[in-house]
A = this chain, B = another copy of it.
């Protein structure tokens, strides 16, 4: 496996030239990780056509040598990263006009640029690295694949332990332990475990509510491997499913399957969204599918591209996206079925290999 970082930095430098920038200050930690490999939480990065300068604090001295190595000139600061930045920039001759990441810098730090950094001209930029990150290489897909495997193994280990009477928080505990046992480095987002009427809240958090016979139980969770995320959802029934459970579930299941099989690189995010949405609308549940179909996953659990009614852009080959239709009936319950799909040259491949048939527990 060749080191992908020089290629990524070169692609960014191409983007800088096109934007008439002498360099870019990076403050977004996922973008910095993509370009350098650094997994810590305190860093600034400057990329110019001639130099790559990485600034962190003393706590990361050991880690930065292992992770960043010689891809960048590393500066370890005793106090403020910003003091280090001004010193490093002063050493870069012929760098006058610098971009900064408008979506990843707080106003407080932007003020530093225009005050202490007034020697340089600062231009807002958006998505210069995010666009590169949309297309995953083979090593990235391998990590997301492993994160998807960790998630499916964890769910397989969890289902036999679930009982009526357990609280959502207890279910989350069983699931999260199974994720750790399967090797997850962390939780990409707070697990959503929502039973009964709470499964109708698309953004529920787990609560102290106890599971009851006849509840839908919705579990939305993910794993992290090598910094890369998976994100999956399954909805099961506690006890015996009613006809209404089955009706709603099957609408979502078919919508999921059609979209997961039908999505293609080159299609717009809107057209991908429409595969599932039109099916749900024709089944009469369109009003109850209030969110978009999916989003990219990678170093972040929500990244480009989007699969949504308002997403006009074409989905790039090599993107990994979620397919997550849902139907939510307020006060009764909801179903979401979410898979992770690679948009390959030969069509989509589902990474979250876990049954989509309705499961009745206990």
Footprint of B on A, CB under 8 Å?
Answer: 39-41, 58-60, 62-63, 100, 102-108, 110-111, 124, 126, 169-170, 172-174, 176-181, 183-187, 190, 201-203, 205-208, 290-291, 330
Contact = CB atoms under 8 A, between A and B. Distances in A.
Contact of A108 (B59, B103, B177, B206): B103
B106 A201 contact: no
18 contacts: A59-B203, A59-B291, A60-B203, A62-B201, A102-B106, A102-B111, A104-B106, A107-B124, A108-B124, A169-B180, A173-B180, A173-B181, A176-B176, A176-B177, A185-B205, A186-B190, A186-B205, A186-B206
A137 B61 CA distance: 40
Contact of A59 (B174, B180, B208, B290): B290
A291 B208 CA distance: 37
Contacts of A63: 201, 203
A334 to B, nearest CB: 12
A179 B169 CA distance: 9
A199 to B, nearest CB: 13
Contacts of A62: 201, 330
A176 B186 contact: no
Given A107-B110, A201-B63, A290-B59, A169 B183 contact: yes
Of A41, A108, A190, chain B has the most CB atoms within 10 Å of the CB of A108
A179 B108 CA distance: 36
A114 to B, nearest CB: 11
Contact of A170 (B107, B108, B181, B186): B181
B176 A170 contact: no
A353 to B, nearest CB: 22
Contact of A111 (B58, B124, B176, B208): B124
Contact of A110 (B58, B110, B291): B110
A157 to B, nearest CB: 11
Of A103, A104, A111, A177, chain B has the most CB atoms within 10 Å of the CB of A177
A179 B173 CA distance: 8
Contacts of A330: 62
B106 A203 contact: no
Contacts of A290: 58-59
Nearest to A202: B59
A106 B107 contact: yes
Given A107-B110, A173-B178, 6 more contacts: A58-B290, A62-B330, A63-B203, A107-B124, A169-B183, A185-B206
B169 A173 contact: no
